[in-house]
Structure 1
Amino acid sequence: MSVRLFAVAAGTEDLLQALLHTHLERIRAGGTLRPLARYCHDAATGTAGPYRVAFAVESYTELEKQLEAVRAGEVERIPAELATRRPPLVFVFAGQGAQWDGMGRELIATEPVFRETLHRCDRLVREFAGFSVVEQLGLPPETARMDELDVLQPTTVSLQIALTALWRSWGVVPDAVVGHSMGEVAAAHTAGALTLRDAVMIACRRSALLRRIAGKGALVTTELSPAEAHALAEAGGGGIGVAGENSPRSTVLAGDAPSLAALVDELARRDVYCRVIKATAASHSHYVDELREDLHTALRSLVPTPTRVPMYSTVTSEPVPGTDLGAAYWVRNLREPVRFAAAVENLFAAGHEVFVEVSAHPVLIGPVRQTLESGERQGWLLPSGRRREERRSVLSSLGALYACGREPNWAALSPGGSATALTPYQAAVLDAVRLPRPVPAEAAG
């Protein structure tokens, strides 16, 4: 049975609890129940209000247990005031590190919009890079080429674009976007500055050039603050540079292998976390300099357009005009340090409180949380996928967005399940808790 999203709302907490009790009693009573998909659709479309509860379930047994947990106060709830305020939403596009064997397969099998968008990307990747994203995702790890940069990066960008299309089909669109390194490609496309063709071209040509510097340097991730990382780099005599500032206590360093090996040993003696990043090249370092001219030439055909939603650059940390995202920008994207923490700071300062990471598995939620916590601020951080539970993860996050005031496209979640008038069961539930009935679509206006 496929995972579904159960969601209900009410005008007050008391009415919400009464509604949950009504659902719980009906399920406990047994008897003939509608298919779970239809039951969840009717529950969501039959109620309204700022007091909201939503969670992913795969069976009536699981739905009963979840309802019991909510009624008992065992589930952390998003405050109703968020549904009233509807805080702005940011899509956060990850770089490398989120990949896992089997990613994308569940959504390819269950979500037509995701599958169709991925196939559109696949056709372009075949044209620019000569391999099939869909085929690579379906191969076992011993024969797949995901350890090769020029396969992994176009595949990752394609997955991010397909996830964004899925979110949009469900009625979820961002108020701003930000991307980490390679993630800026999908971010720029989502913002409207790049066509799909140009986004895929950048991903393919950027990663193909990166192969030329593979093995010439290395990257390490550390639990150093940006200030500590820069101090170490300055003391390293040029062998090490700061490649990324992910949070106030997370940085990435790039450099030659001997210098980084000595650094790892030194930090280990100081009990500071430090790990070499495998299967990558020393991007955001001086090793990229030899690629500058060729990358600019490879992307000279780009004609970016103004963004439709703000894109916060992790090159500058500020909103970037879409028309600036030509070849010269992507050279900077590959060469300069990733200023992710500063971009998140600026997003929060602009009023953004909800962050959805668009990746196959969350790798940036931690740095976003650390950045917000450093300023004693609270945000709502949600994944678009997790290892081995893709659909459940993305639906759970959709439920959290619903609790934050977003209004999903319920018909898209249950194709063929949209109704213009209340079903008898919806009417009975609403009568039981004395909620106002929504106006049928044909009577509105």
Structure 2
Amino acid sequence: MDYSNTPPIVFIFCGQAVLWKTMALELYNENSVFRESMDKIDNYLKNNYFNGESMLNKLRLLNDDDESPNNNQYLSHSILFMFQVSLFELYKSEGISPSLIYGVSCGEMASLYCSGGVSLKNTCDLLIERARLIDKIVKNCPKGIPFFTSLGSDEFIEKYSKKYSDIEIAGIHTDFSLLMGTTNFEQFDQLFKEFKEKEIPIKRINACIPFHTSAMDFIKDDAFRIKEIKFDENSFTVPTYSSSNGKRYNENNSFNIFKSIRNCLCTKIAIQDIFNKIEINGSKKVIFVELSPHPIASPMMYEIVRTLKSTIFTTTNNDEINPNVISLSSLNKNENDNIVFNNGIKTIKRHINL
């Protein structure tokens, strides 16, 4: 694939942690392409899986803004899926399509569908199965704590893993950013206090499920009864990466629903491989676009750049005058949806000369 003339665009589909009652409401109210896609998928799910109940209406009717959609796995899975697919359709309507796709955890449902690798029906079947499995964990296992910290995996293992044996690495995003998880509240409180004293950033996620840790082993036997999805070289219209091992889906790398829930997220591996392939194929610039209601992965691209040792991709922040790495989030919780999205479109088109 030749990227020498037009910078490649990489779509990153985030996981489910960042959802709230009014997310994407401004975009839904004011953008007909986005709204029609949301309604179409909502109706499909409503008629085929939820006995006529709209998940979109269910989201908007939550009691207050403090009630997280993550409390209901069928709701959170459905909303993230319809949101990401609708953003994908909106970008496509603007003439913007990805060269590569990376789906993170629950975001893999939408990434597999948008990549052309899995049909809508088969993706929705997976979506409901995944929600059922996570719901089973919620109802039968101790509540847990997922959280982010700015630390390297080697440093955590060397300095803290023995002391906090019940705290696990759930995702390696960069050399200085980890997703962690535990069901041991006492150890988390001790670690939180120690990290605050040492000024190591640590942030709890608004969810009670320690995704991608041993807590997921509870559903292993159930999950392995669900068939893997196998691919061949013609399966995808857009090359797509797995977050469970950081590799491209192909005939040697199938989708396994348990591994997608249990395995440590391999964002660092996937993004570094994406950078390497883009550089090999002649690009001097790359654009990352995160399909998320709020920035999660997009700021991490610059951290990964710092570890690349590349002579081409050297941008380490959004403020550089002539960047060779551009990293954008589709929306921002603290700003107007339409303004953020339209500004992102302008930035992308400026860099790809549309």
TM-score with structure 1 length normalisation?
Answer: 0.66
How far apart are 1:141 and its partner, in Å?
A: 4.6
Does structure 2 retain, via aligned residues, the 8 Å contact 1:149–1:210?
Answer: no
What CA distance in whole angstroms lies between the structure 2 residues aligned with 1:368 and 1:95? 16
2:237 corresponds in structure 1 to: 308
Per the alignment, residue 51 of structure 1 pairs with none
Alpha-carbon contact 2:21-2:60 (below 8 Å) kept: no
Q: How does 1:183-202 map to 2 (within 5 A)?
A: 183-202=107-126
- Indicate if the aligned counterparts of 1:218 and 1:276 stay in contact, CA closer than 8 A: yes
1:396 equivalent among 331, 343, 346:
343
CA 1:84–1:397 in structure 2 vs 1: closer, same or farther (change >3 Å)? Answer: farther
- Larger fraction in helix: 1
Which whole-Å CA distance do the structure 2 matches of 1:267 and 1:278 have between them? 19
**1:317 to 2:263 alignment:** no
Aligned pairs for 1:113-128 (under 5 A) are: 113-126=33-46, 127-128=48-49
Query: Unaligned stretches of 5+ in structure 2?
Result: 279-284, 316-324
What is the aligned counterpart of 2:328 among 376, 382, 405?
382
Q: Alpha-carbon deviation of 1:267?
A: 1.7
How far apart are the structure 2 equivalents of 1:340 and 1:274?
19
Name the structure 1 match of 2:149.
222
Q: 1:142 to 1:357 in 2, by over 3 A?
A: same
TM-score (norm 2): 0.82
% identical aligned pairs: 20
Rounded to whole Å, the distance in 1 between the matches of 2:352 and 2:169 is 39
Q: CA deviation at 1:248?
A: 1.5
* Structure-2 residue corresponding to 1:76: none
Q: Which residue of 2 aligns with 1:353?
A: 286
Q: Match for 2:71: what amino acid?
A: E
Matched, 1:260 2:183: no
The offset of 1:303, in angstroms, is: 6.6
Determine whether 1:288 maps to 2:216. Answer: yes
C-alpha contact (below 8 Å) 2:180/2:210 kept by paired residues? no
CA deviations 1:382-433 (Å, max 9, x no partner) are 12112241122111111111111153xxxxxxxxxxxxxxxxxxxxxxxxxx
1:100 aligned to which of 20, 26, 31: 20
Amino acid at match of 2:55: V
Deviations 1:211-251 (A, max 9, x none): 23234432221111121233356424741221011122110
Mark the CA change 1:280 to 1:149 in structure 2 (over 3 Å): closer, same or farther.
farther
Alpha-carbon distance in structure 1 between the residues aligned to 2:191 and 2:137: 21
Q: 1:308 & 1:87 partners in 2: Cα distance?
A: 18
Q: Deviations over 1:325-368 (max 9, x none)?
A: 44xx2211110100112211111111172100111121111112
Question: How far apart, CA to CA, are the structure 2 residues paired with 1:402 and 1:237?
Answer: 47
Aligned AA for 1:112? S
Whole-Å separation in 1 of the counterparts to 2:106 and 2:297: 13
Structure 1 stretch 355-364 or stretch 205-214: which is displaced more?
Answer: 205-214
Distance 2:85 2:353 in 1: 21
Distance in 2, Cα, partners of 1:354 & 1:124: 32
In the alignment, structure 1 segments of 5+ residues that lack a partner are 1-82, 408-445
Residue 100 of structure 1, CA deviation: 3.4
Contact 1:93 1:179 in 2 (8 A): yes
Contact preservation (8 Å) 1:357, 1:384: yes
Equivalent residues of 1:89, 1:174 under 8 A apart: yes
Matched residue type, 1:250 = S
Contact 1:108 1:114 in 2 (8 A): yes
Give how far 1:302 is off: 5.4
- Where 1:404 maps in the other structure, the secondary structure is helix
Cα distance in 2, alignment partners of residues 286 and 233 from structure 1: 18
Within the candidate set 137, 143, 146, 2:69 is matched to 146
What is the identity, as a one-letter code, of the residue corresponding to 1:217?
A: G
Runs of 4+ residues deviating >4 angstroms: 301-305
Which one-letter code corresponds to 1:179 in the other structure? G
Which residues of 2 match residues 26-425 of structure 1 at below 5 A?
A: 85-126=5-46, 127-129=48-50, 131-139=53-61, 141-142=63-64, 146-150=69-73, 151-214=75-138, 215-232=142-159, 234-236=161-163, 238-257=165-184, 258-297=186-225, 299-300=226-227, 306-321=235-250, 324-326=253-255, 329-351=256-278, 353-375=286-308, 377-378=314-315, 379-387=325-333, 388-405=335-352, 407=354
- Distance across 2 between alignment mates of 1:99 and 1:350: 32
**Does the 8 Å CA contact 1:385/1:393 hold for their aligned counterparts?**
yes
Alpha-carbon distance in 1 for matches of 2:4, 2:345: 17
Decide whether the 8 Å contact of 1:244 with 1:252 is kept in 2: yes
Kindly state the Cα deviation for residue 182 of structure 1 after the two structures are TM-superposed.
Answer: 1.3
Given the superposition, is the C-alpha separation of residues 320 and 142 from structure 1 closer, same or farther in structure 2, using an over 3 Å criterion?
Answer: same
Question: Any conservation in 1 of the 2:20–2:68 contact (CA below 8 Å)?
Answer: no
Q: CA deviation at 1:324?
A: 4.3
Between 142-151 and 390-399, the greater mean CA deviation after superposition: 142-151
**Match in the other structure for 1:413:** none
Deviation at 1:266, TM superposition (A): 2.2
Cα separation, partners in 2 of 1:249 and 1:113, compared to 1, 3 Å: same
TM-fit CA distance, 1:323: 8.0
Q: CA deviation at 1:381?
A: 0.8
Helix, strand or coil for the counterpart of 2:332? Answer: coil
Displacement, 1:133? 2.5
> SS where residue 365 of structure 1 aligns?
coil
RMSD between aligned residues: 2.6
Q: Aligned equivalents of 1:385 and 1:239: distance in 2?
A: 35
Shift of the 107–161 alpha-carbon distance from structure 1 to 2, 3 Å rule, reads same
